[in-house]
Structure 1
Amino acid sequence: MQGRVVVVTGAFGALGQVVVEVASARGAATAAIGTAAAPPVEVAKRFAPATLVVGGIDLTSLDQARAAMTAVKARFGRLDALVNVAGAFVWEKIEGGDPRSWQKMFAVNLTTAVNAAQAALPYLLESEAGRIVNVGALAALKAGAGMGPYAASKAGVHRFTESLAEELKGRGVTVNAVLPSTIDTPANRADMPDADFSRWVAPTDLAAAILFLASPEAGAITGALLPVAGGL
């Protein structure tokens, strides 16, 4: 990743901050985009001093997504890889559920990725090896009870990944997605305290898979949905 400019959305969250940290450690220039005005202190400490932090960005707005990517271009002069980590989760059954949960999941999980990709695309097309890596979900392949809103939105991410990959074939930009199972985060541990955490996907392992797909070496791979299941 030496010399590449990598943009990470959802960069203030449990996975996003790790992707930024690992990309920086591998020699990339990094930009961390988040919805909060600034990352929490403990998160900011994980970012390299040269990381560009772009806070207060609502990626459900295409205009704000464009403003964020323009800031990256102005700082680094280029953009080589976009990693769409921004997202959220809700567990809610359809019976008695709130239709707004579906709207929220599609907005936060799918619309953010579409807007970020559209905003970054002019700059990615200028790169010698443009990359977009989305975060889908294994749970979207077969949804269980209560997983409808989340799984449907992540299935949308999968189809978006495949469609954009086809659209960009032969133009120097690849589009792929990782499909993790349960990620080992503090929030998931709190929600499932009796689970076997050793079987979950470590954020550093998921970041490694993401950054491979974001690297020049992955140029022959596009439209792939890569399962990252850990021990599950």
Structure 2
Amino acid sequence: MKGKTIVVTGAFGALGAAVAEAASQSGASVAALDYAASPPAGLADRLGPAALLLGGIDLASPEGAERAMAEVKRKFGRIDALINIAGGFAWEKIADARNDDAWERMFAMNLKTALNASRATIPHFLETGAGRIVNVGAEAAIHAAEGMGPYAASKAAVHRLTESLAEELKLMGVTVNAVLPSTIDTALNRKEMPNADFSRWVSPAELAAVMLFLASDEASAVTGALIPVTGRV
């Protein structure tokens, strides 16, 4: 990854930070974007002084995405890969809901962020004739369980976005793929599910390895793929 510029959205969260750190350790220049105003303690030090950390970025807004990618381009002169991790989760039974707030929030956080970030990055890829987009879908979007309607529907939309955009860009040197994790082994998930067998969950480091492969030159023949990364669930 040396010499590459990789943009990671949702980079202040558990998975995003793991991907940003792995990208930095591989020799890439890293732009870490997040809706949160400031990064978690220690992330800036782990990424090093050459990294660009941008907080307060609203990727649900097309204009916000365009401004962010323009700033990345000014800093590094190029963008080689976009890893779309920004998103969120909501659990809500359809019959219990009295409004569409959860649905609208999930589609804004999961689909629109990936859509807007991708659309804002494509012109920079076309300048160099190459690029990588890696999205985060969800195993739960393949067969949605109770209470997973809003989340699963938004992630299923990310799956279709990935496939459609891959077809749109495949003759332009740009690949588009997605990983489909199950439960990720994060501190928050351990707190929410204290009786689960954490050893069966997929770790952020394991996901990061697959995502960085998809962002690499070695994955040039892979596009439109939805790759399950489910640990031992």
> What's 2:174 paired with?
173
What SS does the aligned partner of 2:208 have?
helix
> 2:59 aligned with 1:59, yes or no?
yes
**Counterpart contact for 1:21–1:48, Cα < 8 Å:** no
Q: Distance in 2 between matches of 1:231 and 1:49?
A: 37
- With the length of structure 1 as denominator, give the TM-score of the two structures: 0.98
CA-CA distance at 1:28 after TM superposition: 0.4
Q: With structure 2 as the length reference, what TM-score do the two structures score?
A: 0.97
Residue 139 of structure 2 corresponds to 138
Q: Structure 2: how far apart are the matches of 1:229 and 1:157?
A: 17
Whether contact under 8 Å (1:83, 1:134) holds in the other structure is yes
Structure-1 separation of matches of 2:125 and 2:182: 29
Residue 185 (1) aligns with residue 191 (2):
no
Confirm whether residue 127 of structure 1 aligns to residue 138 of structure 2: no
Distance 1:77 1:109 in 2: 28
Letter in 2 for 1:79: I
Q: Is the contact between residue 17 and residue 47 of structure 1 (CA under 8 Å) also seen in structure 2?
A: no
Q: CA deviation at 1:55?
A: 1.2
Equivalent residues, number: 232
- Alignment of structure 1 residues 46-195 onto 2, 5 Å: 46-97=46-97, 98-195=99-196
Equivalents in 1 of 2:43, 2:193: separation in Å? 23
Secondary structure of the equivalent of 1:32? strand
SS across alignment from 1:86 = coil
The Cα shift of 1:126 comes to: 2.4
Equivalent position amino acid for 1:72 in 2 = V
Alpha-carbon distance in 2 for matches of 1:92, 1:82: 30
- What residue identity is the alignment partner of 2:76? F
5+ residue gaps, structure 1, are: none
Q: Which runs of 5+ in 2 are unaligned?
A: none
Structure 2: distance between partners of 1:69 and 1:10: 14
Q: Which residue of the partner structure matches residue 25 of structure 1? A: 25
For 2:8 and 2:129, locate their aligned partners in 1 and report how far apart those are by CA, in whole Å.
19
SS of aligned partner of 2:184: coil
> What SS is found at the alignment partner of 1:179?
strand
Identical aligned pairs, as a percentage?
A: 63
Deviations 1:139-190 (A, max 9, x none): 0000000000000000000000000000011101000000001000011000
- Cα RMSD of the aligned pairs, angstroms, is 0.9
Quote the offset at 1:124 in angstroms: 1.5
